[in-house]
Structures are given as C-alpha cells and as structure tokens.
Amino acid sequence: MKFGIIGSGSWGTALAKILTDNNNKINWWLRNDSNIRSFKSLRHNPKYLRSTFFNMELINFYTKVEELIEQSDCIVIVVPSAFAADVLMGLPKNSLKNKKIISAVKGILPKRNLLLNEFLKKEFGLVLKDYFTVLGPCHAEEVASEKLSYLTFSGIDEAITQNIAMHFKTAYLNTFHNTDIYGVQYAAVLKNIYAIGAGIAHGLEYGDNFLSVLIANSADEMAGFLRKAGIQNVEVGTIDHHRPKTVSENRKTTNYAASVYLGDLLVTCYSLYSRNRTFGNMIGKGYSVKSAQLEMSMVAEGYNASKCMFLLNKKIKADMPIAETIYKILWNEHPADKGFSEIERELI
C-alpha cells in the first residue's frame, strides 16, 4: 500500500513520521520547490517539528496534488478544513476513483457546511466504503517526541480499516478501529469549539473547578447533539459484551466514547499544545478575533466550526447553549464575560 500525504503542517509531519518509522515509502505534497529543497537539505520539515528527522530514501515529494494522487493508493488528507476545498477543487472529477482516502481533517468545510466525505462525494463521487478517518487525542509534538499516544481509525469496512490502522501502529502509537465515521468526525469538530470555550474561561480567570464543570457539561452537550444526529456510540463506560472480541480488541470491545470522543475533548481543552485553547485564551484576555488570528501561526479549527455547527444545528435542533454562546462571542461580537455569565446559569 503506497501512502500519499496532502498537507505539511505539524500533524501532517507527525503522520509522515509514523508511516516512515514503519518503513513505509510515502509520497508527500509540499506547496513549492523551495520547501522541498530545504527539506531534502535539512532532512526535516523546515517549518514544523524541526527536531523530527526523516529517512529521505522513503519520501517522494510532489508540488502537484494530482501527480501525488496518481502515484498513491491511499491518500491522507491533513490540511485545515478551511483550505481543503481549495487544495482539491482543481482535480479531475475521476481522480479519486479506486483510491482510499484517509481524513485527518478535524473540521467542517466552511461555507459549504460539509464534512470532508460529503464534499468528496459531491465533487468527485467518492463512495463511503473508500473513506476513512484518523482521529483521537494526539498532539503532533508528542508524537514527534515519541510519547505514547492513541489513534482511532474509522471506516465501514472493518477489515480494510484494521489493515490501514496497522500501518500506523508503532512502539509509541497504539491504534484502534471502528465503523463510526460520522460520529468521530462530528465529535472532532465539536471538541474544538469547546476547547475555545475552555481557553476563554482561562483567559477570564475562572478556576479549575469551573473549568472541570464546563468540560463535563460540554461532553454532555456533545453527546446530546450526536444522539440527535443519529449517532449511537456516545456513552462512556458502556461496553457491548455480546460483540465478539478481535485480536486488536484483546482486552474489551471498543468503547468509542472513551478515547476518540471524551479523550480528544479533554486533551484539546486542557493541553498547552492546543491551538484552540490558546486562541480562546486570547479572546478571554480581550483580544479581538482578528488580532488573535494574526497572533497565532496556526489555524484554530474551532473558529469556523462554531459557525458551521450553529447553522447545522438549526436542522438537528439539539440543546447546545455552550456551543451557541461561543459562536456568539466569536462571530457576533458578544462580550466574552457576558457570554460566560450566561453559560454559568446553564451548568449543572
């Protein structure tokens, strides 16, 4: 299986490290020749995770996405959701035929309000059986330093999903798989919004008690949305004891909520690596949205996601006072302190 990676940010670089550490040859798209020349000379990404060095014999670089796709069986898309459509729209309509697509995109495509699989089906006719996700409570910086991490792969064909996951399993990375494509994607979108909220709370100088209650209520709000959207696997502590165990599930059956839902929410809300938490912290301290965006060198996915989910929830009609208040703060210039005074009254 030949992997191609579209995206050269910190998470794209981390995923490339994982694959090449397993001795997989990869194709990798970088935006321009100068970045490629620097990469080859330095043996590391010149812009992200500079302490991560690569075996250059395992990497073929491309500046044209179409050429990378032609030479790859399995394409990992790991660009911010705000830019995904621009990167892909110029491709021929049949370019993804018979290709496996792995999404590492933790967001909804703004303006379109579509998950990546919905966009790829609409524009390229990609069928759901050829679409997979890789999500979970991982930070690129921790993967780069080989701190033990966990990732969950989702796809409707369990055998193929497990096979893909095994290419990423290393001594420092455990992998799991399930069939919950929509649930894990919506959870990844929502946790970024709630992480901005956690950052705002920190910037407003709320304490640890309030933050823990905020995150607990956010987890409950997320579960309520997922249930309304038709997702079933949202309960922490609930295990299907009747489902046969597999080799990859040698201790217990997969509990989706434990890591890919709740775990990702917790790490994104608490970790100092979290760009969404950092962005929210700036908002809480009085930065305008534009000033906070200029200050950061990376994209906070939760900003666009807050508007997308607000619009999507007009159809789902879940009770989401926390997410809606964060949307108002970010998009309607609602004062952060006033917004969190309103959130206070919603928490239990």
What are the boundaries of each domain within the chain?
A: 3-179, 183-344
Report the pLDDT averaged over residues 90-107: 95
pLDDT above 90 (res 297): no
Q: How confident is the model at residue 237 (pLDDT cuts 50, 70, 90)?
A: low
Residues 336-345: tens digit of each pLDDT: 999 999 999 9
pLDDT per residue over 130-145, tens digit each? 999 999 898 999 999 9
Mean of pLDDT values over 157-162: 95
Amino acid occupying residue 48 = Y
Is pLDDT above 60 for 60? yes
pLDDT value for 114? 95
Q: Closest Cα to residue 159, out of 182, 177, 141?
A: 177
- CATH 3.40.50.300 assigned to domain 3-179? The reply is no
Query: Which CATH number is 183-344 given?
Result: 1.10.1040.10
Q: pTM above 0.85?
A: yes
Higher pLDDT: 237 or 5? It is: 5
Give CB contacts under 8 A, 24+ apart, made by 88-91: 88/119, 88/120, 88/123, 88/124, 89/123, 90/65, 90/66, 91/65, 91/66, 91/124
Over the stretch 249-263, which tens digit does the pLDDT of each residue have? 444 555 555 678 888
